[in-house]
Structure 1
């Protein structure tokens, strides 16, 4: 029987556990990485992460689009549309279309197998060429070529197995998805500590990252594919023609999300790559550390919003607009509160903590930290509200995101190569370009669609938070 996806207390608890351990793989490991690796190794690590993020754009928005469509099927949709969704009467219960679910899963396997191969090819060709350049022919760091090859293989398997997580969250098994994430991150943390203490340096970090996706895949498969579901799905045979037809349906909006993801990469990932060309590895390490810590703040702040995304999509199917608005206001209020507190701690506590652990890498000035965090808050606000529109399988902000991303890349290039503004040039180029249009226009439009103003949205969010948290 179909169902409106609900978020239980256990889902929320496990969601925070999962995000904690995901962050722990950064926060718990970070002091050791900063203390035991040289500034050059830390800079190399951030550059690898940026290259890895670039090649994962081959996904081109398919993963979130796949997860949302899984939610549509479990919520009772009998067919998947290129634009919009098939809304149902919330009082009418319909059976899950297992034929459609089987086709969706088999299509995803087919696509991810192809994407994994493309990702690995890009990592081993263009990616290797870039790393060769920034490491002076793999001579700046010991074992740099081996480190890059292992990192490339790890990225390949993360892409190849990533549809399992979308299956779990899309079907409402949020707790199970988070359990798999928690257990896998615990393994990664332990392995990283052991290998760093054993003296493997950056090589140990990438080995731990390589092993991580295999446990995630094993646990996700066990949680989702129960004996009953395997038996039900095994009776449906999906032809290549059906897979291609379904892929075309998914691709219609997936490509739009992919282009927007590309613009997001241009906003932050490309800036790190440009920094690697025009700045020293020590400066890249400082910038990368700042972006990582602000990213951690955003990740912690957005836990509740992320957990509720399958519910947003389900409420779109049932067309419950009032409850949908309340859920969005509640989760965004949690996000705002956590982000502001996190930013205060970043500016007042983090620099002292970095020095206390004996880090070889330092943070930029407090003014740069504040400016970067402020711009990121506006970016997150814009993108989170856009996610509520995407939950309805609509994507009206494609062009503005793409042009903004291209403008940011051009701005970073000019500020670094011509104006020599250093880190300030990167921060201002990204922040001002986003704030010129996206960060104010689309939030206003989306709130207007919800028939609510900005101040009323905040009031409703805090009111919902007080009610649900029993304050």
Structure 2
């Protein structure tokens, strides 16, 4: 557990370190138009999670079922218990793997269409004037996004088979490759092309590493592979993934559009401080969620084996370590941030303590909700999806109304976000998860 968590944190640190090192170089070496385009292209990278639309997480869960001993015949009947037999059904693994390949082929075709549409929108409708180098850079970034999505296809079997550390190790090497190449080529005055080429090569390297690890695992059931996939498996995976994808879209609207809305309704120089706090909060949140991601295969295994005492202990342990890590790290950030900004001689001014506490609360609620929703998902129940999308739109619409009545500012937008969370999702799903855990019996313990 702690080995994988360590690799996960290191993967996040190498990603953060790359940005810290590259940004000063980019500011000094790129023209203003190149820098603006680079920021736009970097923001487009977040589309990978939208293109995935919940399939990698869903398929990962079904790989975990297969590795936990669930049999092919039981699976197509909708039964996900190993019934005490933990032997892996290779026929089921082969079918899940075939579905994984088929689905991600369709997702790749869709993503190519979307990326083409975005390019045509900016260059045709918005009529952004791009130089030849900028056009090539856009093309290379778009291809890098496609390769990154292709590498996500391998995450399902790596995560589901308990090889989570391999995902993080591959990500670390990819981040290092990007950092080394981009810094080297920026000094050769290649401009934005340096970043585009570096991003493409790092994406190709990540894909290559993931494919090698995937093939190493898949060779155990390669002889069972078939072109004819059970339609029940396709329907089961697609149905649950689409629900998760819609929920992910709702979560994106509720939790990831804050900076975009602040930039739309508040003067830019007034949101630098809160943007800094939000970005650091997201880094802390994603680092703490590594604890959950590393324990999900074990939680699924306990549920499949109907070991509810172990299931309760593991879930409470994940919750305890996640909240403790988040609270401690955020507190250290609040204490050290002023000195850090002063040493860097930065113009960024931290927001008031009240705004910082709002950010702390918003992302703490998101952490608890993410753990609760992940636990509920292990039972193949996704009752939270429609509420996530509804309250995601509630937050966006509330900000539009605040702007209409000329009341949109830093504090009101954050309060609107907190309010949209607390109406329902913040308490409902932790309560559902806790009720489910309690009804399965067994004494709850926290052990290191």
- TM interval, shorter chain, is 0.7 to 0.9
Cα distance, 1:299–1:403 mapped onto 2, change above 3 Å? same
What does residue 315 of structure 2 align with?
328
55-64 or 257-266: which moved more? 55-64
Go from structure 1 to structure 2 and tell me whether the alpha carbon gap of 1:412 and 1:137 turns closer, same or farther (over 3 Å shift): same
In the alignment, the residues of structure 1 paired with residue 98 and residue 319 of structure 2 have an alpha-carbon distance, to the nearest angstrom, of 35
- Residue 111 in structure 1 maps to residue 103 in structure 2: yes
Report deviation, 1:152: 2.1
The aligned residue for residue 160 of structure 1 is 150
Counterpart in 2 of 1:4?
Answer: none
Task: Name structure 1 gaps, 5 residues minimum.
Answer: 1-6
Aligned residue number for residue 238 of structure 1: 227
The corresponding residue for 2:400 is 413
Q: 1:73 aligns with which of 54, 66, 74?
A: 66
For 1:232 and 1:68, how far apart are their aligned partners in 2? Answer: 18
Which of 95, 99, 104 in structure 1 is aligned with 2:91?
99
C-alpha deviation, 1:147, in angstroms: 4.1
Q: 1:366 to 1:147 in 2, by over 3 A?
A: farther
- Superposition map of 1:326-405 within 5 A: 326-359=313-346, 363-405=350-392
Matched, 1:219 2:209: yes
- 1:405-426 CA distance string (max 9 Å, x none): 1101112323345425333343
1:286 Cα shift? 5.3
Query: Shift of residue 48 of structure 1?
Result: 4.1
Deviation at 1:289, TM superposition (A): 3.5
Deviation at 1:41, TM superposition (A): 7.3
Alpha-carbon offset, residue 383 of structure 1: 1.5
Alignment of 1:298-317 (within 5 A): 298-317=285-304
CA distance in 1: counterparts of 2:378 and 2:363, whole angstroms: 22
Contact 2:170 2:209 in 1 (8 A): yes
Which residues of 2 match residues 433-452 of structure 1 at below 5 A?
433-451=420-438
What is the CA–CA distance in structure 2 between the aligned matches of 1:426 and 1:131, rounded to whole Å?
32
1:120 aligns to what? 112
Structure 1 counterpart of 2:83: 89
Shift of 1:195: 3.7
Equivalent residue, structure 1, for 2:282: 295
What is the aligned residue count?
Answer: 442
Alignment-derived partner of residue 189 in structure 1? 179
Structure 1 distance, partners of 2:24, 2:56, is 33
Question: C-alpha displacement at 1:37, in angstroms?
Answer: 2.1
Q: Structure 2: which 5+ residue stretches go unaligned?
A: none
Q: 1:116 to 1:293 in 2, by over 3 A?
A: same
Instruction: Quote the offset at 1:295 in angstroms.
Output: 0.9
Contact 2:122 2:128 in 1 (8 A): no
Q: Give the Cα separation in 2 of the matches to 1:337 and 1:178.
A: 22
Give the structure-2-normalised TM-score: 0.86
Structure 1 residues 47 and 391: alpha-carbon distance in aligned structure 2, compared to 1, 3 A threshold: farther
Contact persistence 2:56–2:155 (CA under 8 A): no
- Determine the C-alpha separation between the residues in 1 that align with 2:367 and 2:250: 14
Aligned-pair RMSD on alpha carbons? Answer: 3.3
Contact 1:116 1:160 (C-alpha < 8 Å) held by counterparts: yes
